[in-house]
Chain A
């Protein structure tokens, strides 16, 4: 099973709302990632979790709060977002550090619109 699932597929929220994006994988991967992708742009790395610990935070605003409850799940909590945060949010997983060639497997993404 090489599938990464993400829910919801689409999300519309107001600037005062609190919502969460969810990501799940059952490949035994120990690294999980959140990316943000604007239209016609490449994915931009937001966070990396390695062995359930946050290892990389690419200077992401605090209105985005990641959480890794266990090795299979990754959440992204959203609060007080701005319209410019509207984007496709992609989750990915990989075997993790210590592997020589680490392929990332991506989920289908959550299309987020902030009104």
Chain B
């Protein structure tokens, strides 16, 4: 079964606005990762946050992790049309080889020029 649940399923914003996507999961994790997928293409790794971290930044991306609520959020600031894609969170389980990821259902982001 899928570990992560993204919210919202679809998001449409104007260029320049911020986009926030949320992810919830069910079991203990070693890390949580966010990936982007352009239509029909492979996934691109965006950012990884470890279970002992609360916030991480990378360029226009900001990720938070709340292990007590088993949730994470991805914020994209000053969005661009090129940010249009599907965004997936993926969790690496704790207590086992962290190389097995479980993907959430994804959020489809549309940035309107």
Contact = CB atoms under 8 A, between A and B. Distances in A.
B99 A42 contact: no
A111 B39 CA distance: 12
Nearest to A43: B103
Contacts of A4: 42
B2 A42 contact: yes
Contact of B45 (A44, A45, A104): A104
Contact of A42 (B31, B41, B105): B105
Given A42-B2, A42-B88, A42-B106, A104 B42 contact: no
A107 to B, nearest CB: 5
Interface residues of B, number: 25
B40 A105 contact: no
Q: How many A residues touch the partner, as a band?
A: 20 to 34
A43 B48 CA distance: 18
A110 B50 CA distance: 31
A86 B91 CA distance: 26
Interface in B75-100: 88, 92, 97-100
B40 A109 contact: yes
A97 B99 contact: yes
18 contacts: A4-B42, A41-B105, A42-B103, A42-B104, A42-B105, A92-B43, A96-B99, A100-B30, A100-B98, A101-B31, A103-B33, A103-B45, A103-B48, A106-B44, A107-B42, A108-B41, A108-B42, A111-B40
